[in-house]
C-alpha cells in the first residue's frame, strides 16, 4: 500500500510500506528466489532487486499490475517473473516452474493506492465511483452485495469482517433504501451509512474514523474472499520455504493482523500467554517455524508523515526450521459464508 501524492484523476504514486524493515525481515541474500505475493505497484519487488542479486516470482490479481511488471521486466529482465493471478496459486505456480523451495515470501495485504485512488475501482467512500471493490475482474461485486444480499446476511458480514458494532442498524438502513432505489455508487452507500450511524461516531471521544470505513472494509473483504485466501496460501506455502527462509506479512487493520498473528503462533508453537522473554522450550523447537523476533513492527513517524496510509501497518515475520509442517489448523475459513456466496450468484 502506498501514499497518494496528488489529487485523484492524476498518476497514482506507490510508496512501499516499511521498505527497510521488510528487506531486513526477509534476511535477503544473493542468488535466492523470493515470492512477492502482492506485487501491486512493484515497490517492494523493485527494492529487493535493486539491492540483491536474486529472482522474484510475483503475483497479483489486479490487471493494472501487469503493466507495471512489464516496465520492470525491461530493467530487471528475467530476474522478475510476474503472473496475473491470486497469490493462492503460488504453490501450483512454483510446481509448474519446477521450483521446489524459495527463500522468502512477502505479503503486503490490503488495498493499494492504485486501487484506492482510482474511483472506477469503487474502493473508496471518499470518491464517487461504481460499487465494485473487486481486486480482479471476475466474481461478485460490492454492487451485488449491497443490492442483493439478504439483510440478515449483510448485517453478519458487516459485523464479522468490519467489526462494526452498528451492523444491524446499517444493514437495515441499506435495506430500506434499496427497496426504493438501487444503490449504484460509493458515495450513495457512504451517505446511507453516515445518515444511519454518523451521530454515534460523532459522540465518540477523541479522533474517530469515518462511519463508512468499517462497512466498506467488510464488503471488500467478503467480495475478494480475503481471509480464506490468506489462510489457503499460508497453509499451502510452508513446505516451499527453504530452511532459514522467512515469511513476512504486512497487515493494515486489526482483524487481518489477528488472523496473521494466530496463524503464526500456530506455526511456531508460541503461546500468547507466555512472555517473549522466557527461553524457547524443547517442544517449541519442534515446530516448522520460529519467531526471529516476536515483536511486530510499525512505521516510524517520519514514514507516517511521508505516507499517511502507512499509519495502521504492522509487519510480522517467521523463519523456517527443519521440522515437518502438518496442516491441522482450521480457523478463519470462509466455509460458513459459502451459502451466502451461492445466493448472490
In a domain, 51, yes or no: yes
Provide the H-helix boundaries in the chain: 19-25, 43-51, 63-76, 90-96, 113-116, 142-148, 151-162, 167-178, 186-202, 213-223, 226-237, 254-268, 301-306, 338-344
Domain identity same for 283 and 204: no
Where does a domain end: 166, 199, 223? 223
**For the segment 69-100, what is each residue's pLDDT rounded down to a tens digit?**
899 999 998 999 999 999 999 999 999 999 99
What is the domain range of residue 305?
19-114+226-331
Residues paired with 246 in a beta bridge: 104, 319
Domain identity same for 150 and 230: no
In a domain, 251, yes or no: yes
Domain identity same for 257 and 231: yes
In a domain, 124, yes or no: no
**For the segment 319-335, what is each residue's pLDDT rounded down to a tens digit?**
999 988 876 655 555 56
In a domain, 93, yes or no: yes
**For the segment 176-219, what is each residue's pLDDT rounded down to a tens digit?**
999 999 999 999 999 999 999 988 887 776 557 889 889 999 99
In a domain, 271, yes or no: yes
Where does a domain end: 179, 200, 223? 223
Higher-confidence position of 272 and 340: 340
In a domain, 216, yes or no: yes
Pairing label, strands 289-290, 314-320? antiparallel
DSSP 85-109: S-GGGHHHHHHHTT---EEEEEEE-
Residue 23, domain CATH? 3.40.50.150
In a domain, 4, yes or no: no
User: Whole-angstrom Cα distance, residue 56 to residue 46?
Assistant: 9
Domain identity same for 292 and 248: yes
* Of 161, 158, 250, 165, the residue nearest 203 (C-alpha): 165
Where does a domain end: 195, 223, 251? 223
Q: What is the pTM of this model?
A: 0.85
In a domain, 7, yes or no: no
Number of domains in the chain: 2
* Of 273, 275, 313, 276, the residue nearest 293 (C-alpha): 276
Amino acid at each position: 500500500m502506498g501514499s497518494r501524492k496528488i489529487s485523484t484523476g492524476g498518476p497514482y504514486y506507490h510508496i512501499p510500506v516499511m521498505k527497510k524493515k521488510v528487506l531486513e525481515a526477509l534476511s535477503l541474500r544473493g542468488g535466492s528466489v523470493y515470492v512477492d505475493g502482492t506485487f501491486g505497484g512493484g515497490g517492494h519487488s523493485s527494492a529487493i532487486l535493486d539491492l540483491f542479486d536474486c529472482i522474484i516470482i510475483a503475483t497479483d490479481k489486479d490487471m493494472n499490475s501487469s503493466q507495471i511488471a512489464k516496465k520492470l521486466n525491461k530493467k530487471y529482465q528475467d530476474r522478475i517473473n510476474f503472473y496475473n493471478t491470486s497469490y493462492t496459486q503460488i504453490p501450483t505456480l512454483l510446481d509448474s516452474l519446477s521450483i521446489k523451495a524459495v527463500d522468502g515470501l512477502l505479503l503486503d495485504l490490503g488495498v493499494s493506492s492504485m486501487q484506492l485512488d482510482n474511483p472506477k475501482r469503487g474502493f473508496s467512500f471518499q470518491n464517487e465511483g461504481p460499487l465494485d471493490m473487486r481486486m480482479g475482474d471476475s466474481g461478485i461485486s460490492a454492487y451485488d452485495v449491497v443490492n442483493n444480499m439478504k439483510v440478515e446476511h449483510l448485517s453478519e458480514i458487516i459485523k464479522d469482517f468490519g467489526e462494526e458494532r452498528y451492523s444491524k442498524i446499517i444493514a437495515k438502513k441499506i435495506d430500506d433504501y434499496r427497496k426504493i432505489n438501487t444503490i449504484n455508487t460509493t458515495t450513495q452507500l457512504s451517505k446511507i451509512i453516515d445518515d444511519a450511524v454518523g451521530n454515534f461516531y460523532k459522540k465518540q471521544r477523541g479522533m474517530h474514523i469515518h462511519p463508512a470505513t468499517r462497512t466498506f472494509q467488510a464488503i471488500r473483504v467478503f467480495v475478494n474472499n480475503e481471509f480464506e485466501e490468506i489462510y489457503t496460501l499460508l497453509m499451502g506455502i510452508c513446505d516451499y520455504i527453504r530452511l532459514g527462509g522467512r515469511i513476512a506479512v504486512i497487515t493494515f487493520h486489526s482483524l487481518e493482523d489477528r488472523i496473521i498473528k494466530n496463524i503464526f503462533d500456530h506455526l511456531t508453537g508460541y503461546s500468547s500467554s507466555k512472555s517473549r522473554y522466557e527461553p524457547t522450550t524443547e517442544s517449541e523447537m519442534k515446530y516448522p517455524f520460529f519467531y526471529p523476533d516476536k515483536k511486530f513492527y510499525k512505521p516510524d513517524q517520519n514514514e507516517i508523515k511521508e505516507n499517511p496510509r502507512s499509519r495502521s501497518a504492522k509487519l510480522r515475520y517467521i523463519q523456517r526450521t527443519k521440522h515437518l509442517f502438518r496442516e491441522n489448523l482450521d480457523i478463519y475459513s470462509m466455509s460458513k459464508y459459502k451459502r451466502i456466496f451461492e445466493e448472490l450468484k
